[in-house]
Structure 1
Amino acid sequence: MAKILAVDDDKRILKLIKNALELNHHEVITLQDPENIPIEEFCGYDLILLDVMMPEIDGFELCQKIRSTVDSPIIFLTAKTDESSIVKGLAFGGDDYISKPFGVMELNARVEAYLRRENRGKSTKKLVYGDITIDFDKKEILVNNNVIAFTKNEYNICEFLALNRGKVFTKQAIFEAIYDLDSDTQFSVITEYIRLIRNKFKEYNCFPIETVWGVGYMWK
């Protein structure tokens, strides 16, 4: 059983989500107006479902506001599936999208997939490449003992490439390694993730990801 927060201004959608996820014995907390809720109230959940188009504060803004404090996966619920919106949401720390309208079976399948991924057995080993340390237990990447604030998917991309050091992967191959095959997200967002990752490493004069032109990316 997982503890899940659903945020949407439409109480009918919240009722649908609550009824659907409770069929799998999850505890579902619903929130219709998140604007003035303290950040700490968003902590302690195993997963957050977050509507994008809300009247007082949209889901992108809310995700950006809480992401530095909240470690759980955040899945957007949205009818806005154009590439620019997807890139914006993921850059703010979202993990995936579910397109509206969605069905009960799709919702449950996507939620269960993320919960399984979060509950996989953790490794206790570390990888050290020069100044970079990847701690698989804590899901952290450090440069000269400084923790870099990666989002969950940014970390997952780094971990995947680092574990396959020296191998070149296309954007689609990287996408398939970190997303479910039925994800609504488009694999072209990998380019934006790589840009964000590089910018964070660049602050430490560190450049571990190399572009192999016409093919993809590799961890040097």
Structure 2
Amino acid sequence: MANILTIDDDAAILRLITKMLKMKNHEVTGLQSLKDLTLEEINNFDLILLDVMMPDEDGFQICKRIRPFINIPIIFMTAKSDENSIIQGLTIGGDDYILKPFSIHEVNARIEAHLRREHRPKKQNTNTFIDGDILLDLAAKKIIIRGEEVGFTKTQYNICELLALNKGKVFSKDYIYDAVYSLESESQISTVIEHIRMIRKKFAQFDLAPIHTVWGVGYIWE
């Protein structure tokens, strides 16, 4: 049994696919868009069935946005049958391409084939930290929010990494200062407060507030 996400703006097709997959004892989540799911939630699925022609964000755009951060099969299901579209879908990170109208037996066979040979790690690897819509690329030292890279200074990134990788733990500004500044630094401990203010401002642009103040103690990533 697998946990499958299917995305299609056609409610009738969603019902058909959901019924078909549940008959094979799979868990199915059917959505008409991806706007309400975080990367963390997407990574909990074993496979994605993805329509291409959708009104807001098409399947190709969705695939390009999420593929760098997920390691599960993506199967396009679409009426776009021209060769260029098929090549594009497979080039940008799709694992398979099924044309509509489709055969239920073919869809089932392809899903089972991908699930059998799927050995990629499903969730975040040691080089990434994912918390809802926030992704920290630990190797590249970058922060990506909802697929968009956001500019943080080196010190701001280091503060975020310290707090995020220790989610739920409170750190004093003295500890943060010692952890992110070099011994030769001439910066003042008070600069930690200003950096956190700027970090919060950048997250607030996305209506996010992962860093909280524990009054009289320090800061925590929640």
Q: Give the TM bin, normalised by the shorter chain.
A: 0.5 to 0.7
Contact 2:6 2:30 in 1 (8 A): yes
8 Å Cα contact 1:50-1:77 kept in structure 2: yes
Quote the offset at 1:23 in angstroms. 0.9
CA deviation map 1:37-59 (0-9, x unaligned)? 43333211111000000000000
Partner of 2:81, secondary structure, is coil
The answer to whether the 8 A contact 2:52-2:58 is kept is yes
Partner of 1:162: none
- Aligned CA distance change for structure 1 residues 27 and 36 (closer, same or farther; 3 Å): closer
Cα distance in 2 for partners of 1:119, 1:18 equals 24
Report the secondary structure of 2:5's partner residue. Answer: strand
What does residue 93 of structure 2 align with? 93
Q: Please give the per-residue CA displacement for 1:72-99, whole angstroms capped at 9, x wherever unaligned.
A: 0000011112111112111211111010
Distance 1:43 1:11 in 2: 24
1:119 CA displacement: 5.4
Aligned-pair distance for 1:36? 5.2
Could you tell me how far apart the structure 1 residues matched to 2:108 and 2:49 are? Answer: 12
Structure 1 Cα separation of the partners of residues 35 and 28 of structure 2: 19
What letter corresponds to residue 84 of structure 1 in structure 2? N
Task: Report the counterpart of residue 17 of structure 2 in structure 1.
Answer: 17
Residue identity matched to 2:87: V
Q: Which residue of 2 aligns with 1:4?
A: 4
Secondary structure of the residue aligned to 1:49 is strand
Partner of 1:212: none
* Structure 1: gaps (5+ residues): 123-137, 139-145, 147-220
Moved over 3 A (4+): none
For residues 35-184 of structure 1, the aligned pairs below 5 Å read 35=35, 37-118=37-118
CA distance in 2, matches of 1:36, 1:60: 18
Q: Give % identity.
A: 55
Match of 2:171 in 1: none
Matched residues in 2 for 1:67 and 1:100: separation? Answer: 23
Deviation sequence 1:134-193 (CA, Å, 0-9, x none): xxxx9xxxxxxx9xxxxxxxxxxxxxxxxxxxxxxxxxxxxxxxxxxxxxxxxxxxxxxx
Tell me the secondary structure at the aligned position of residue 28 of structure 2: strand
- Tell me how far 1:14 sits from its aligned partner: 0.7
The runs of 5 or more residues in structure 2 that have no matched partner are: 126-138, 140-222
Larger radius of gyration: 2
Give the 3-state SS of the residue equivalent to 1:30 in structure 2.
strand
Equivalent pair of 2:90/2:97 in contact (CA under 8 Å): no
Tell me, what secondary structure is at the counterpart of 1:68?
A: helix
Q: Distance in 2 between matches of 1:36 and 1:84?
A: 30
TM-score by length of 2: 0.52
- Taking the aligned partners of 2:33 and 2:45, their CA distance within structure 1 comes to 18
Say which SS state the counterpart of residue 67 (structure 1) adopts.
Answer: helix
CA contact (8 A) 2:4 2:29 kept: yes
Task: Report the equivalent of 2:26.
Answer: 26
Aligned length: 124
